[in-house]
Homo-oligomer: A and B are copies of this chain.
């Protein structure tokens, strides 16, 4: 790929900025006027022609201004954008919003999704942090009526599974406590593969409970990601390029259809470094329904322990500087939470 002259970079950058602001194609004459360039429109036109040949700009039709192509946006994001960091005032405001929260990961995810969506005017998504390897931590059995027992399984990292079990035989609360304590001691720190090595003479009820535990842990291991929080879907709809088109609906459908979304997330190579941000522009050729959209994703959490994904989906014509620094900031926020809790 031919490298561009500094003037060409300057012009490309201005066009991207102007188009993001106005949503309209930008022409040579307006460009020089608006930014007080000491060049004539004709010169700018020549450069724009070169950029068009290079595949970074295109014209919606012969007599319209230029619009960045996917490739143009990519070049902009990768080479031209000045890495803005989030203004301290905004950091402070957001931190304040979270300072009054309980320590519940669910609540944090919800609030993060909401604030991120509002500040970026995009749809936001967050997947729950997923432990790299699920390990047993604690078991509690609480009798209800009859043979009904509320079983609570605590996994390392604080994940909690609860279920009402109908026992095969009636058991007193006394006995339940004994079983709980026994299992909690014997199984502590064991992963799915080592749960069933726990072989001793077991009562029917103990066997039943153990089966349930193993089942839950295996299931937690297998589900690649758990819950997904979405917010701000309607933000995307208010963008002018989606006014009344099917495009937006199909893009949002991608988010709502969790299985498709999981595909997308698992097929995307995220930078391993926490705080690293991946920008997908225009579906990157693979996702037809995202041709007009861009996605910004970041992994968060504690590598090797538990990680999740946070990101936004907005129109390709989005304010990348802002959005990227916001995603990065929230990624850090949730990482801190996870590190502190796990």
Which residues of A are interface residues toward B (Cβ below 8 A)? Answer: 102-104, 137-138, 140, 142, 150, 152, 154, 158, 160-164, 231-234, 237-238, 243-245, 248-249, 252-253, 256, 340-341
Q: How far is the CA of A103 from the CA of B160 in the complex (A)?
A: 14
Scoring A233, A238, A253 by chain B CB atoms within 10 A of each residue's CB, the highest score goes to A233
Asked if A249 and B245 sit within 8 Å, CB to CB, the answer is no
A138-B142, A164-B158 as given contacts; A232 in contact with B256, CB under 8 Å: yes
Among B160, B244, B256, B341, point to the contact of A244 (Cβ < 8 A): B244
Could you tell me the distance in whole angstroms from the C-beta of A224 to the nearest C-beta in chain B? Answer: 17
Chain B hits for A244, CB < 8 A:
243-245
Asked if A256 and B233 sit within 8 Å, CB to CB, the answer is yes
- In the complex formed, the residue of B with least CB distance to A233 is B233
Q: How far is the CA of A161 from the CA of B105 in the complex (A)?
A: 11
Asked if A104 and B234 sit within 8 Å, CB to CB, the answer is no
Q: How far is the CA of A162 from the CA of B140 in the complex (A)?
A: 14
Chain B hits for A248, CB < 8 A:
237
Could you tell me the distance in whole angstroms from the C-beta of A259 to the nearest C-beta in chain B? Answer: 11
Chain B hits for A231, CB < 8 A:
256
Asked if B138 and A154 sit within 8 Å, CB to CB, the answer is no
Q: How far is the CA of A136 from the CA of B258 in the complex (A)?
A: 35
A138-B140, A231-B256, A244-B244 given; 10 more Cβ-contact pairs under 8 Å = A104-B161, A104-B162, A104-B163, A138-B142, A150-B158, A160-B162, A164-B341, A237-B248, A237-B249, A238-B249
Q: How far is the CA of A340 from the CA of B164 in the complex (A)?
A: 9
Give 27 A-B contacts (CB < 8 Å), ordered by A residue: A102-B163, A103-B164, A104-B162, A137-B142, A138-B140, A140-B140, A142-B154, A150-B154, A150-B158, A152-B154, A158-B162, A158-B164, A160-B162, A164-B340, A164-B341, A231-B256, A233-B233, A233-B234, A233-B256, A234-B249, A234-B256, A237-B237, A237-B248, A237-B252, A238-B249, A243-B244, A244-B244
Chain B hits for A341, CB < 8 A:
164
Chain B hits for A245, CB < 8 A:
244
Could you tell me the distance in whole angstroms from the C-beta of A198 to the nearest C-beta in chain B? Answer: 20
Chain B hits for A160, CB < 8 A:
152, 160, 162
